[in-house]
Every structure is written in C-alpha cells, then in structure tokens.
Chains A and B, each alone.
Chain A
Amino acid sequence: MKRILLVLILLCFACNTNDELKVYNYDGIAPLINKTDDKVHVVNFWATWCAPCVKELPYFEKINKVYKAKGVELLLVSLDFPREYETKLKPFLKEKQLKSEVVCLNDVGQNRWIPAIDTTWSGAIPATIIYKVGKRKFYEKSFTYEELEKEVQQFLK
C-alpha cells in the first residue's frame, strides 16, 4: 500500500511540470482543502464553461497577489469535463496565465463528495471555501472583489 502511495506521489510530482494538469479524485483533493497549517486558505470551485466563475477568477487572482505575503493561499479547483481538458481547460490556462494553483477534480461520485465538502452545498458553481484552523466558511455564490476581500479579512483577524 505504502509503495503504491509513493508511486502515486511520485507520479503527481512527475506530472507537475509545464502545462500538465494535476487531476485528483475527491480523496486526492480532500487533504488539499483541509490543510492544518497556519495559513488562511481560499478554495474556489470553478470551470471554464461556468460564466460567473470565469468572471470572478480575476478577483481570486487579485486576492492571491495582494494577500499571499499575509499568509493567504489560493487553490482553484477546476470541475471541467475531462474530455475538455485538452481542448478547453489547457488553452484557457495558457491564455490567462493564472498565478494561483490550479488542480482538477475528476470524480463522478458527486453525491458523496459534494456533501462531504459542505453539507449545505447543492452542487451549483461557483462555490468557495475559506478556512483556517478552527474556522471554516462555505459560499455557494459569486463574489465581487470587495465582497471576497471582506471575507478574507475576517479570517485574517
């Protein structure tokens, strides 16, 4: 088992080069959205086909830029269809040159992982989690930059 894990970890590192996507199932994503370090984490669930998601991406990028030094870490979790990774997602990422970390969640067991991520999540995107150790909030909504910044600041207090 440990060996398999090691191979998987190595594989993840191996694919972590250039424009290769990091694709996880829910069990792979879970540790990334439940970190126990001393940072404030902002996790945004989005997809290239989701217009309101694409609209608010620059706000998340700006948070990353402005608040990175203050201990805020961004993670953009793409829910794009795997068959569109090459045709839509990769060209999009190349064009936008996002600075925040992007990973893909590919897991058809949505009825399991949607409530596991948050019991109140109906499944609509955009959706966002902001958390730090001891505090966690879930938002099934779109943000303006000001709204997002206000929420992040609540966690920095």
Chain B
Amino acid sequence: MNFSNQEYKNANKFSVSKTLRIFTVLICLVCLTAFTTKTDAGGYKLGDVATDFSLINIDGKMVSLSDYKTVKGFVVIFTCNTCPYAVAYEDRIVDLDKKYASKGYPVIAIMPNDTYIKPGDNMQAMQARAKAKGFTFPYLMDDGQKIYPQYGATKTPHVYILEKTTKGNIVKYIGAIDDNYQDAAAVKTKYAENAIDALLAGKEIAQKTTRAIGCSIKVK
C-alpha cells in the first residue's frame, strides 16, 4: 500500500545506480504482490470458480445458478436502485440480457446493499424498479450480505462474467459494462459484450478486467 505508482516513479527518479534501481523495483514488486494477495483474499480472481447461491428473487422464489441447466454461462451484476451509476446502466443491463440470454449468457442481477442503510433498495423498491424498467432477468437480494464479499464486489454496478464448465462457473471477466457511464450513445468499447462475444466464439477475451467508478456497497 505504501508503494503506489507515484512513489514507484519517485523512487526511480531519485535512485542513482542501476543496482539501486533494480533493488527498488524488486522491493516494489514484493510490496505490490503482498498487497494484491491481501486485497484479493476476499474476492475472486480471473479463473476462480464462482460460488453458487440461493438468493430470493423479486417474485419471492429462490434462484440459484444451478437452476439454469442449458446456459453457457452467466452475467452476474451487482447492482441496486439507489446508486446513480447503477441507475445510469439499468437500460443497458436490460439490453445485455435481451441480447445474450438467448445465446446462453443470461443476466443475474444481485442487490448487495444493507436495506436498513438504504431503504430505497428494499424488496418493495426492487420490485417496483424491476417492473418500471421491465427487467427481463432475476433481481435477487443478497440477504445477509454473504455472497458479494465472496465475489469481491466493492461497488454497484460491478460485473462478473462466468463461464459454465464441468469444473464449475469460472470467472472470466470482472469490471464495468462499458467505457461511458454518462452516455450510452457515446460508448466506444462495450467491455461486457466483447467478453461474452469472445467466450461464445471460443476466443481469448481482450480486456479481462476493467474499472469504473461506482457506489460503495452499503453495510451496517
């Protein structure tokens, strides 16, 4: 944590001899690795097997990934009613499901917030939003907040694309839906779509992780 990019650059700038420079780089690498291990302890990395779950849907029924017998994978999206970033993506999430559910990659939306902190994310509010926006996919509540920490979701929206294999559901993509939260019409790269297209074509995903601003997941 003490060795951010900037410090790394500073360290490089001020070190005189080459040996010193190599030594600094090594130390930085060790620190970065140590830190990465620490942050990833609570979440999935690419290639990990994602846990299944049994979470309550807005229709009162429980939903698990294992309910889906014929799919090729899943687009698991941690999202909510109350985050402006998540709201900005609602229509695009519906579009994703419409485009890819029939191709074997349905959207599974999970609301991870504590509803005591965010009453606007409670079950009634989730039902109302899903109806208003015409959600074509399950909108599940992470009741007890046990699932999002296992995935390592930190914010809404936060996307995990999973590929269904004989070993389980493998994490293939983590990150954002696309590269423009402000304007769907101005999007240049559709990260999530590109990842699913690559999976469907049996190709390597070009960008496996991306980052975007989002609202921190609310806990008591």
Contacts and interface: CB of A to CB of B under 8 A. Distances in A.
Interface of A: 34, 47, 49-52, 79, 81-83, 108-111, 114-116, 118-126, 131, 133-138, 140, 142
B7 A116 contact: no
A38 to B, nearest CB: 15
A114 B176 CA distance: 12
Contact of B84 (A49, A114, A138): A49
A123 B84 CA distance: 14
A136 B6 contact: yes
A70 to B, nearest CB: 22
B155 A124 contact: yes
Residue in B158, B176, B183, B215 with the greatest tally of chain A CB atoms within 10 Å:
B215
A83 B87 CA distance: 14
Given A110-B176, A126-B216, 18 more contacts: A34-B6, A47-B84, A49-B215, A50-B216, A51-B118, A52-B216, A109-B179, A110-B181, A110-B212, A111-B179, A118-B5, A120-B1, A124-B213, A125-B214, A125-B216, A133-B10, A135-B2, A140-B154
Contacts, number: 94
Contact of B6 (A109, A131, A142): A131
Chain A at the B interface: SS class: loop
A110 B182 CA distance: 11
Q: Which 10 A-B pairs have the closest CB atoms?
A: A124-B155, A124-B216, A114-B211, A122-B154, A124-B154, A49-B84, A111-B210, A108-B180, A110-B212, A123-B211
B17 interface: no
B155 A136 contact: no
A121 B154 CA distance: 10
B101 interface: no
A114 B179 contact: no
A47 B82 CA distance: 14
Contacts of A126: 216
A67 to B, nearest CB: 21
Nearest to B191: A111
B185 interface: no
Nearest to A105: B213
A123 B212 contact: yes
B39 interface: yes
Contacts of B215: 49-50, 124-125
Contact of B212 (A34, A114, A134): A114
B1 A138 contact: yes
Contacts of A123: 154-155, 176, 211-214
A114 to B, nearest CB: 4
Nearest to A34: B6
